[in-house]
A and B are shown apart, each in its own frame.
Chain A
């Protein structure tokens, strides 16, 4: 009799413990605990149905806003692409990119075989080079380089002659964009070959240089990749300044 009681107690307590253990698997802290009856579920459904139109309106507003933002982003990206294209174009025309095309290669050098005219030997070499560049630019040149130094709109060609410099042609130092160069001078120019050549012929540049004991040899390259110019890699005018109040 006592044994049966013990077995009964064991069975009951086992089941009770099992139920208590299972109870711990249920999260009573969630709000859905109140969904235990159909009444609560119907109330929740009514609330959800009342809330649904508001959420749909909100969703529609959000979609409109998303479309507006996407349209704005599209415009911004299109504008950015245009600006990039313009930047590339400006870089090309400013001489910040390498250039290749038909053109001339002009070599200026002292020629001892030419007749000496002493009074004309004291010339400013930078002015000579500047004159040639100006004439070529006027006849449609797209880009220049003197002894490998690319010329841009702000490039200065200067003669830097000290008081102790010896007299005579090629005696001083010419600076192109602040970089010293030495004779012989090689001017590489890209542009319409015929027009460039005509300008040099009309202005009789070779003869002018011959008077100064300097040879002026022009080679024309008519191929699409005839003359190559390097990109300008010097300092830009705004490299060393900052906007006031920026």
Chain B
């Protein structure tokens, strides 16, 4: 709080100026100005970006952001339960690679291959959950370990090569099935499939959090673990389920990503865990758990996706884009803190 004795007697400013008469109100005004400036800047760059307002570009942004949105929904639930999952980027890569390897090299039918991918995500999530609940290891450490492990498993599985890899310079050893490619680049009645899947996941997440007992248990667990337990909630089971769900969603994101790139590899999805956490935080979910929601995370993921696209259209180089994204995350959280403290 800003306190200055000389400012407590400012009634001299009179009725006209009372709305900026106290430091709190002045900060509140400042917060609003920053918000307006930020929005205007965003609109300016969007509107001056070459070819931003075209159907092709909209589809492009949607397809690129879809895996991020799917991850952000899972990460929202994890963070509301007062956890964090650092392994999701690695699970994206492993599950995408596993489904591709299973179909391309092991000759497993496409439906089963996709199921194997999703199941591997569930299994890795389950292992995360078991380490955290039974082993009583902090979420951060357990999933950090899984992040490294799953990357390693993916590299072992693929031999470090893209799947499918090349037989000669021009021909591939095998081809990805159209079903997986459809997940990333197909359409439904003209709408791109990836964003539709992401939207379905957002709705699923919203229903779970707002309308189910499981969702209520997630909030209770993150808000006050001890009180949740004393109220009869099986906190370990809740946490376990949250991580399994996260694992499945990460695997789904991996399949969508594989489909969009028309290829899987064990190093894809690098940094996606941090992007998903950033989307959740930008969306207003409390990083300490207990409050938040998936709609905010959807907005958070979209803001990041659109910004990345706009910077690309403006031909900003990738290295500089990283700086901008990093500053965006810090700025949004700082802004949110100020808003919480001073209102407005």
Q: Do A and B come from one complex?
A: no
